[in-house]
Amino acid sequence: MARTQTAPDSGRGAALRDAWQAERSAARSARAAGDPAAEWHHLERAHILSQPLAGSHLKTHADMLGAAARRRDGREVAGQLLRLVLAVPGSLTGRYPVGNTGGADVSAFRPMPIPEDLRALLTTGADT
């Protein structure tokens, strides 16, 4: 697994958590507006941000599971159930695929490019 160096307990960690909360809030707003595509987009971004933070990572997959259930997407529900099991150990050990968007449409083990606007929140500069 690829791993990006993070500093979740520092000031950078506070900014990371704030950005994660903002994406979750945007997802909730999209859901309230009846826009499941926008909801999912923000959940994917929240997932990217949450990977180094075990509790946040787990909550993001729970949110993704809820979104999949509302869409009645059985494949995604199954994928999220698997990811709920993997999320905390992956975060705690640093064995998570950096940049992965967290949906069942991609392998749970495949690293992906980090969106440019999120990169500074996730890297120390060593692997950018």
Q: Looking at the domain assignment, is residue 95 inside a domain? A: yes
First to last CA, the chain: 16
Q: Looking at the domain assignment, is residue 91 inside a domain? A: yes
**Per-position b or e across 90-107, b if 16+ CB within 10 A of its CB:** bbeeeebbbbbbbbbeee
pLDDT in tens, 60-118: 999 999 999 999 999 999 999 999 999 999 999 999 999 999 999 999 999 999 999 99
pLDDT-derived band at 6, boundaries 50, 70, 90: very low
Q: How far apart are CA 8 and CA 49, in angstroms?
A: 11
Q: How many domains does the chain have?
A: 1
pLDDT in tens, 8-19: 545 668 999 999
Q: Which domain holds residue 35?
A: 11-121
Q: Looking at the domain assignment, is residue 78 inside a domain? A: yes
What's the pTM? 0.88
pLDDT in tens, 10-57: 566 899 999 999 999 999 999 999 999 999 999 999 999 999 999 999
Q: How far apart are CA 17 and CA 12, in angstroms?
A: 9
Q: Looking at the domain assignment, is residue 1 inside a domain? A: no
Q: Looking at the domain assignment, is residue 55 inside a domain? A: yes
Q: How far apart are CA 4 and CA 127, in angstroms?
A: 7
Q: Looking at the domain assignment, is residue 5 inside a domain? A: no
Q: Looking at the domain assignment, is residue 115 inside a domain? A: yes
Q: Looking at the domain assignment, is residue 127 inside a domain? A: no
Q: How far apart are CA 32 and CA 14, in angstroms?
A: 27
